[in-house]
Amino acid sequence: MSDFAITALLVVALFALLGSSVWIGLTLAGVAWIGMELFSSRPAGDAMAVTVWGAASSWTLTALPLFIWMGEILFRTKLSESMFRGLAPWVSKLPGRLLHTNVVGCTIFAAVSGSSAATCATIGKMSLPELAKRGYPQEITIGSLAGAGTLGLLIPPSIIMIVYGVSADVSIARLFVAGVFPGILLAALFSGYIAVWALLNQQRIPVPDQILGWRARLYESRHLIPVVLLIGSVLGSIYTGIATATEAAAIGVVGSLVLSALQGSLSWATFSESLMGATRLYCMIALILAGAAFLTLSMGYIGLPRHLAEFVGSLGLSPFMLMLALALFYILLGCFLDGISMVVLTMGVILPTVQAAGFDLIWFGIFIVVVVEMAQITPPVGFNLFVLQGMTGKEITWIARVTFPFFLLMCLMVLLLWFVPGIATWLPSKM
């Protein structure tokens, strides 16, 4: 059977299983078993057992459940309310005023969360009622929250970065460092758009309740101290080399428990809910990673990655055109799969191609994160759209429409990464 026929058969099997609502991890493992059993000489059962155990017991991967648990704990604290009180006085003079709390709040919370959906839900729970009460337009309020919520993937610590680092065998600490400048730049693009929109629609921006002086602003900023200390302890321990990503995640869990206790929101109920929420999410991710690892091994035995790389090479695409093709591919894939599934499902095939093209794997990791961010706000499977639909009751198509300007800003970010790669690679090169 030709390579094209084998690929077509496996793709049909993949989408048939996904369409029949089989879990993604089991789908990946099932397709891998079909491929290895039918088109290779190695026993599929033995290969699956060894590969699944190796993928599930990776020490590097232990950072993932810890960061997820940290986000779950913080989701149940009064952190978001304190952040709003600390941020609001500082943005009241900017064009757009309190709309910037969505962007700044998501940027700060992303540095202690690692999850796009958790960032969007936590900040939305705080900002949407406050902004609605003050009369801010719904379309820019919800659109900016959906766009800024994706920063949870780019600003470290990031769950997607950990998954990519494990899949591509790249230093997670260097990936975290690489995400700092792109995350801040993307947040600045979002705030810039809000400012321009506000200047063009000045009559729709409510008059501020009050303008505080410098002393009053500094006094209100005391509410930001807990989150700043937590961010400093987690990221500072990584950047200074004191702790690995896994050890920093453990520091974050301890810090979030202490913060929750000091705020009076730590109880047995919230502790058990956060632990069970993190366990459920990590088990889903671990199953996907294990299935993807087996699929990668299966495709390696069949030879599909090598043949695909040879096919892409035969097309004669320039590196820039390859980058655009991959961006389009991931955006389309994001219409049907969540971000983690996209990364683990494609790395085995894509990595040989991008390495042959000479792409830096740290840079490519940031590129992947940005295009996965774009997939978070593309229907029908845009996680941030689902989160906001549940919070606002709006139609998902309406939410996607008001979020579209922020999608375009992410497209601009991809181009900036290409033409100025130092945005992602300069800081890691200093480690």
- The arithmetic mean of pLDDT across residues 85-108, rounded, is 80
**Is there a domain that residue 22 lies in?**
no
Q: Which of 49-63, 98-112, 149-163 has the lowest mean pLDDT?
A: 49-63
pLDDT at position 113 is 67
Domain range for 180 is 58-266+303-429
Residue 209: pLDDT band (50, 70, 90) is low
Can you read off the two tokens belonging to residue 321? 């055109």
- Pairwise pLDDT comparison (355 vs 63), residue with the higher score: 355
**Is there a domain that residue 21 lies in?**
no
pLDDT at position 307 is 67
Answer positive or negative: Cα dihedral of 396, 71, 329, 145: positive
CB 116 within 8 A of CB 384: yes
Q: Which of 71-80, 151-160, 290-299 has the lowest mean pLDDT?
A: 71-80
Whether 264 has a pLDDT exceeding 90, the answer reads no
Can you read off the two tokens belonging to residue 18? 């996904």
pLDDT at position 44 is 80
- Euclidean distance between CA atoms 14 and 298, whole angstroms: 14
- Count CB atoms within 10 A of the CB of residue 109: 29
- Count CB atoms within 10 A of the CB of residue 8: 12
pTM: 0.74
pLDDT at position 27 is 82
CB 17 within 8 A of CB 27: yes
pLDDT at position 418 is 94
- Euclidean distance between CA atoms 145 and 105, whole angstroms: 10
- Euclidean distance between CA atoms 230 and 251, whole angstroms: 9
- Compute φ and ψ for 267, nearest 5 degrees: -140, 175
Can you read off the two tokens belonging to residue 7? 């690929």
**Is there a domain that residue 351 lies in?**
yes
**Percent of the chain residues topping a pLDDT of 90:** 15
CB 155 within 8 A of CB 183: yes
**Percent of the chain residues topping a pLDDT of 70:** 90
Most confident of 4-8, 12-16, 110-114, 407-411: 407-411
CB 157 within 8 A of CB 67: yes
pLDDT tens by residue, 290-333: 887 787 788 777 776 566 656 666 777 888 998 998 888 888 77
pLDDT tens by residue, 380-430: 556 677 778 777 878 878 988 999 999 999 999 999 999 999 999 998 887
Which of 406, 312, 299, 424 has the alpha carbon at shortest distance from 361?
424
**Is there a domain that residue 380 lies in?**
yes
**Burial status of residue 273 (CB atoms within 10 A of its CB: 0-12, 13-18, 19 or more):** middle
- Euclidean distance between CA atoms 293 and 51, whole angstroms: 7
- Pairwise pLDDT comparison (323 vs 124), residue with the higher score: 323
- Euclidean distance between CA atoms 431 and 426, whole angstroms: 10
- Compute φ and ψ for 336, nearest 5 degrees: -130, -20
- Euclidean distance between CA atoms 400 and 410, whole angstroms: 14
- Euclidean distance between CA atoms 348 and 326, whole angstroms: 14
CB 144 within 8 A of CB 194: yes
Residue 197: pLDDT band (50, 70, 90) is very high
State how many domains the chain has: 1
Helix (H, G, I), strand (E, B) or coil at 310: helix
Can you read off the two tokens belonging to residue 322? 């390859």
Q: Which residues of 204-228 are buried (b: 16+ CB within 10 A; e: fewer)?
A: ebeeeeeebeeeeeeebeebbebbe
Q: Which of 13-17, 101-105, 318-322 has the lowest mean pLDDT?
A: 13-17
pLDDT at position 423 is 93
- The arithmetic mean of pLDDT across residues 38-61, rounded, is 78
Which string of DSSP letters, residue by residue, matches 213-271? -HHHHHHHGGGGHHHHHHHHHHHHHHHTTSS-HHHHHHHHHHHHHHHHHHTT---HHHH
pLDDT at position 381 is 58
- Pairwise pLDDT comparison (197 vs 215), residue with the higher score: 197
Residue 59: pLDDT band (50, 70, 90) is confident
Whether 205 has a pLDDT exceeding 90, the answer reads no
